[in-house]
Amino acid sequence: MKRIFLSALLGLLSAPLLAQPQLDPVIVSGKIEKITLPEKPYKLSQMELTALAGQYDLVNGKTLTLSGNGPKLYAEIDGLAKAELVAAAPDLLVAKNKQIRIDFNQFANGVVGDVSVTYVAPQEIKGRRRAK
């Protein structure tokens, strides 16, 4: 008799746990990184522009191309629109559209050793809550 009572009680207590309600989607949006323009841009010399211009192989398989047109410098990453850059320092460039930040690791002689690119996508990221 006690077993029947305990089994019935356990069944009643576990029923709400098994009947999970349908969850509404949860939308998460936000920016992972914020890129800001310098208050006073750094003026790159023609020699500095020449040293930075070229193609860089990124670890995600894409190519970063830096090209100049007079005093202006542009960045283009495979599949993304070309963006005009502003120098914040001799080793730091940011896109005027605030979507790209490029940090250079330069040797003492000015040759670029490697580059770190931050790209902030101009899109909202949506997601759904996973069922537990």
Does 58 reside within a domain?
yes
The token pair that represents 37 in the structure block? 């323009």
Domain hosting 120: range is 23-132
Give pLDDT tens digits for 1-46. Answer: 555 554 554 555 555 544 544 545 555 455 456 888 899 999 988 8
126 within some domain: yes
Q: How far apart, in whole angstroms, are the C-alpha atoms of residue 104 and residue 106?
A: 6
Q: At 2, list the tokens.
A: 């006690």
Q: Is residue 60 part of a domain?
A: yes
- For the chain, the domain total comes to 1
Q: What confidence tens digit (pLDDT) does each residue in 87-111 have?
A: 999 899 999 999 999 998 877 776 7
- Examine residue 79 and state whether it is found in any structural domain, yes or no: yes
For 2, phi then psi, to 5°, come to -65, -40
Residue 104 contacts residue 94 (beta carbons within 8 Å) = no
pTM (2 d.p.): 0.65
Give the C-alpha distances (Å, rounded to integers) separating 132 from 10, 23, 98: 21, 10, 38
Tell whether 2 is covered by a domain: no
Residue 63 sits in a domain whose CATH number is: 2.40.128
